[in-house]
A and B are shown apart, each in its own frame.
Chain A
């Protein structure tokens, strides 16, 4: 099948002191959630004080993407690492509301607010 309209997930990590800011670009669905989850879990090896995930360029996420974030949250709680989600698109925010996870994750309107 032509997959041109569904390019690979991209992730970019930058560090602000000991905070890892992860920018995700692309849909996080069943095709991409394994890659998404592994990348996030690998990040814990660098022992960040906090992880901020910038979701501004994630137009779509399904429950497999949410499951990856829940797994990361479980791991960060055990390790004492902070976890914040930032700049959710309308669709992704709606998914968090439907699954009632908007009250479980720390969600911020912008990356700057999540860094404060």
Chain B
């Protein structure tokens, strides 16, 4: 895992190329597991981040592979105990109409357009905002589920 800042967060900048995505997936899953997320939930968080990055590459940057994407992975704590993970993804690309970012109807079985649905299904919070100096910031939050005795470690 990459070294964390003093507040426990991890910040990295990747290029808008699909070849950088596996590295991010590894970081996200590793941090989720460290924070105590069950394996399945960690997989869902990793998938959501992957889908969000895919959307940035395809839509905000129109497939250009050399643009920056800033990623912040910030553990959330309450009374020193981890309560969840906040992820911020920031691009500097073309602003999209935030009202148009919505999941499509699933009964319409066709290729594509599933990323937003996956993100909303898997994360507790998914908020898009325009950044002041251009681009878009996506904030994702996943809270740790209550512990159950039969959860795998």
Contacts and interface: CB of A to CB of B under 8 A. Distances in A.
Interface of A: 1, 3, 5-6, 27, 29-31, 60, 62-64, 66-68, 70-71, 73-74, 90-91, 94-95, 98-101, 104
Interface in B31-55: 40, 43-44, 47, 50-51, 54
A98 B121 contact: yes
Interface of B: 18-23, 25-26, 40, 43-44, 47, 50-51, 54, 57, 106, 109-112, 114-115, 117-118, 121-122
B interface majority secondary structure: helix
Contact of A70 (B20, B21, B51, B111): B111
Nearest to A90: B40
B50 A62 contact: yes
Contacts of A98: 44, 117-118, 121-122
Given A62-B54, A64-B54, A99-B118, A5 B26 contact: yes
Given A1-B20, A94-B40, A99-B117, 18 more contacts: A1-B19, A6-B22, A29-B18, A30-B21, A30-B50, A31-B18, A31-B21, A62-B47, A63-B51, A68-B111, A70-B110, A71-B111, A95-B47, A95-B118, A98-B44, A98-B118, A98-B122, A100-B106
